[in-house]
């Protein structure tokens, strides 16, 4: 099994963590979609990571689809509830965390442009998305919908999103007035799967 992606992508990290937590052996193929002559398109016509190539030669792309495929293997620990509606609720929280990652990625790409070409309105729009989503996630952590001791695709996605905010210094004050979210991600960051997938600093 091959996982194609970049070491700095939060979406790739989400899949890496899932595979490690389930003890699934995989080969990591480092391909950045932003580098010249990258090979991502041969796995995903959209040119995005992650992509997963199975031992049977099937290719899956887009992290929610890959996550769903991994769960279909029925390898413990289960990261989604068995009951369909409960599973859908977890997937919605995953989508919310994925949205934070998307907004952070847009912000990083916008700030990489020459200063005179950057759009303050676009940066503000993405910042509002991130803050609104983090407020919602804080509420879910406070009411027990998201639990620090319950590993799911949602809690993994939330921690990967926060990890990316920290890594790229997007929304540096995110932890202010969000104590339940802080507790949630600190618990997950202490796991070996997160320590082994921490993005490189250099």
In tens digits, the chain (202 residues) has pLDDT values of 999 999 999 999 999 999 999 999 999 999 988 776 778 989 999 999 999 999 999 999 999 999 999 999 999 999 999 999 999 999 999 999 999 999 999 999 999 999 999 999 999 999 999 999 999 999 999 999 999 999 999 999 999 999 999 999 999 999 999 999 999 999 999 999 999 999 987 5
Beta partners for 4?
A: 29, 51
For residue 115, the enclosing domain spans 84-191
Closest CA to 191 of 5, 18, 51, 1: 18
Residue 132 and residue 168 share a domain: yes
- State the total domains in the chain: 2
Structural contact between residues 126 and 106, judged by C-beta atoms closer than 8 angstroms: yes
The answer to the question of residue 201 being in a domain is no
- Whether 101 and 6 map to the same domain: the answer is no
Q: Is residue 108 part of a domain?
A: yes
Are 31 and 38 in contact, with CB atoms under 8 Å apart?
yes
Predicted model pTM: 0.96
Question: Which of residues 27, 48, 72 is at a domain's end?
Answer: 72
User: Does the residue 79 lie in any domain?
Assistant: no
Q: Quick one: pLDDT at residue 34?
A: 77
What are the Cα distances from residue 26, in Å, to 19, 39, 147, 166? 8, 18, 28, 27
Q: Indicate if 120 and 157 belong to the same structural domain.
A: yes
- Based on the domain organization, do 98 and 147 belong to the same domain? yes
Residues forming a β-bridge with 29: 4
Give yes or no: residues 35 and 111 share one domain.
no
Same domain, 68 and 88: no
Are 55 and 132 in a shared domain?
Answer: no
Q: What is the pLDDT of residue 189?
A: 97
Same domain, 114 and 49: no
Question: Is 197 inside any structural domain?
Answer: no
Is 92 in the same domain as 42? no
Task: Give Dmax (Cα) for the chain.
Answer: 51
CATH number, position 156? 1.20.1050.10
Domain assignment of residue 23, yes or no: yes
Classify residue 88: in a domain, yes or no. Answer: yes
Contacts 24+ apart (CB under 8 A), 69-74: 70/15, 70/18, 70/19, 70/22, 70/24, 71/153, 73/22, 73/24
Q: Is the residue at 58 inside a domain?
A: yes
The residue from 72, 103, 120 where one domain ends is: 72
Report the CATH number that the domain containing residue 29 is assigned in CATH.
Answer: 3.40.30.10
């Amino acid at each position: 099994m091959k996982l194609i992606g970049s070491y700095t992508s939060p979406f790739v990290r989400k899949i890496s963590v899932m595979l490690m937590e389930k003890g699934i052996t995989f080969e990591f193929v480092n391909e950045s979609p932003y580098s010249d002559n990258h090979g991502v398109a041969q796995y995903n016509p959209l040119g995005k990571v992650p992509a997963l190539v199975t031992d049977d030669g099937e290719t899956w792309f887009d992290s929610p689809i890959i996550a769903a495929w991994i769960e279909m293997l029925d390898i413990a620990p289960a990261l989604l509830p068995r009951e369909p509606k409960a599973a859908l609720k977890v997937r919605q929280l995953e989508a919310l965390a994925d949205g934070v990652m998307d907004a952070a990625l847009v912000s990083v790409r916008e700030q990489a442009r020459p200063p005179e070409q950057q759009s303050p309105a676009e940066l503000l729009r993405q910042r509002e998305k991130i803050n609104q989503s983090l407020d919602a996630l804080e509420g879910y952590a406070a009411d027990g919908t998201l639990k620090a001791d319950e590993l799911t695709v949602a809690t993994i996605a939330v921690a990967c999103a926060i990890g990316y905010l920290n890594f790229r210094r997007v929304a540096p004050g995110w932890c202010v007035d969000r104590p339940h979210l802080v507790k949630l991600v600190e618990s997950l960051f202490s796991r070996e799967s997160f320590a082994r997938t921490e993005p490189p600093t250099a």
